[in-house]
Amino acid sequence: MTPPPKRRPASARARWLLVGVSLVLVPVLVGLAEIAVRIFGSRIDPLAVFVSSPQLRSDTQGETTGGMFEFDPLLCWRLKANLRGIWWDFTPVTTNAQHLRMTRDIGAKKGIRIVVLGDSVTFGYRVPVAFKKEKPAEFDAAEKPYSALLEDSLRMKFPGREIEVLPLACPGYTSGQGLTWLRRDIAALAPDIVLACFGWNDVRSAGLPDRATMPASGAQVFVRGVISHSQLLLHIAESAQRKAATPPGRVAPEPRSSEEEYIAHFLEMNRMCVEKMAWFGILLPVYRDPNTPGVDPSQPDAGTNPDEGARMTAYRNRLRDVAKENNIAAIGFPELTEASWPSNKTLFGERIHPNAAGHRLMAERLLEFLAKPLARLNSM
């Protein structure tokens, strides 16, 4: 006779039943908790959780920047898409559907495409200047960031050729974020020329370095994306941050990028461009003055940070030397560096950002800088 099938012990059946109930019940409870937090709790912007540095929070969520930035799982923040003439700290801002400061969307590539990676300098902070918040459309239309001026000049120089200059630029970005952005979009954009201009955000001490606060590994990006879609998880993350917060002064702020990281980012950008058959050029960073006490008599109460000024000089010099050693094209703007202070005062709005005249100078120099690669591309 066939022996009767063995019956599982009651304890085993109970365990499996418990697992089954848990698989059903836990998601239901989490869902109910999510609904309750959304109804009864205060809404948390993911920016407030993932941009933890007080300085960077002020840059992306302060009174003058409210509504201009949104969370991005990969880059941590980005410009909102389809903004129309908003006012950001004396800067009129319009963006396209691709989150770029442009009045037109990016279409299919038809001719020569130049991509300019950068921070608020390339973005064009206070270029043009809109003095009245209530009237953001009142500004001099002839004042434009250097990328837009370059595009205008190139279209005049090569009539009948489709030429576009795309400013992949966002205030607050470091060279690391620029590298991450390029890595994500270079294949889709298929640029013929890539330019990169980063500096102040890399040398700036804003708490912990970017490698600690915004790692770009796939797992970290995935986790940030998941948490950003859940108010429940955002509340939990914010609570954990408050408990783990280090009291001010306990940890000395570090530059957002070390000098070695800064150089490595540009070398990797160059490697990627070579791989994609794009010409790569470096714009050495700009900075107005040495940033030492008493250097600007017109602003005796302005805060100074000599270490920052020294890092700007060191990072720029090292980048120039490494570019030369690796046969990477690089262009400097001597008038827009601390070595030219105080004669360069009329080219800046303040210490970090060139004004409209400074941007015109950059555009004119870039037109010369790009003469050879553009001549080659135009002959193809």
CA distance 140 to 235: 44
Q: Is residue 165 part of a domain?
A: yes
Strand 329-331 versus strand 279-283 pairing type: parallel
pLDDT at 1 over 60: no
* Helices 231-244, 10-40: crossing angle, 10 deg rounding: 90
**What does the pLDDT read at residue 139?**
96
Q: Is residue 32 part of a domain?
A: no
**What does the pLDDT read at residue 185?**
98
Arithmetic mean of pLDDT, 338-359 = 96
Where do the DSSP E strands lie in 51-130?
69-72, 76-79, 86-88, 91-93, 112-118
Longest dimension (CA), the chain: 106
Tokens read off for 137: 């459309």
Peptide bond into 342 cis (omega under 30): yes
The domain spanning residue 163 has which CATH number? Answer: 3.40.50.1110
Which residues form the domain of 162? 81-209+249-378
**What does the pLDDT read at residue 37?**
86
pLDDT at 319 over 70: yes
**What does the pLDDT read at residue 304?**
84
CB atoms within 10 A of CB 259: 15
- The pLDDT tens digits of the residues spanning 120-159 come to 999 999 999 999 999 999 999 999 999 999 999 999 999 9
CA distance 322 to 266: 10
CA distance 319 to 337: 14
Tokens read off for 319: 């980048």
Peptide bond into 171 cis (omega under 30): no
Q: Average pLDDT over the chain, rounded to whole? A: 91
Q: Is residue 263 part of a domain?
A: yes
Structure confidence at residue 248 as a pLDDT band (50, 70, 90): low
pLDDT at 6 over 60: no
What DSSP letter does each residue of 215-235 carry, written as one string? ---HHHHHHHHHHHT-HHHHH
**What does the pLDDT read at residue 15?**
74
Across 5-9, 47-51, 339-343, which has the greatest mean pLDDT?
339-343
pLDDT at 165 over 90: yes
Arithmetic mean of pLDDT, 233-260 = 82
Q: Is residue 152 part of a domain?
A: yes
CA distance 291 to 351: 8
Output the CA angle 287-79-87, nearest 5 degrees.
75
- The pLDDT tens digits of the residues spanning 297-317 come to 777 667 788 999 999 999 999
Structure confidence at residue 65 as a pLDDT band (50, 70, 90): confident
Contacts of 147 (CB under 8 A, 6+ apart): 116, 122, 124, 165, 166, 167, 169
Contacts of 52 (CB under 8 A, 6+ apart): 207, 213, 241
Q: Is residue 33 part of a domain?
A: no
Q: Is residue 275 part of a domain?
A: yes
Structure confidence at residue 116 as a pLDDT band (50, 70, 90): very high
Across 66-70, 217-221, 314-318, which has the greatest mean pLDDT?
314-318
List the single range of 116-120, 188-192, 289-293, 329-333 with lowest mean pLDDT: 289-293
* Closest-CA residue to 328 (of 165, 194, 184, 140): 194
Tokens read off for 41: 């709790």
List the single range of 174-183, 293-302, 342-351 with lowest mean pLDDT: 293-302
pLDDT at 249 over 70: no
List the single range of 23-27, 259-263, 312-316 with lowest mean pLDDT: 23-27
| Residue whose tokens read 């990072």 | 315
Across 63-72, 136-145, 288-297, which has the greatest mean pLDDT?
136-145
Q: Is residue 170 part of a domain?
A: yes
List the single range of 80-84, 176-180, 259-263, 291-295 with lowest mean pLDDT: 291-295
**What does the pLDDT read at residue 251?**
63
Q: Is residue 234 part of a domain?
A: no
Our count of domains for the chain comes to: 1
Model pTM score: 0.91
Structure confidence at residue 31 as a pLDDT band (50, 70, 90): confident
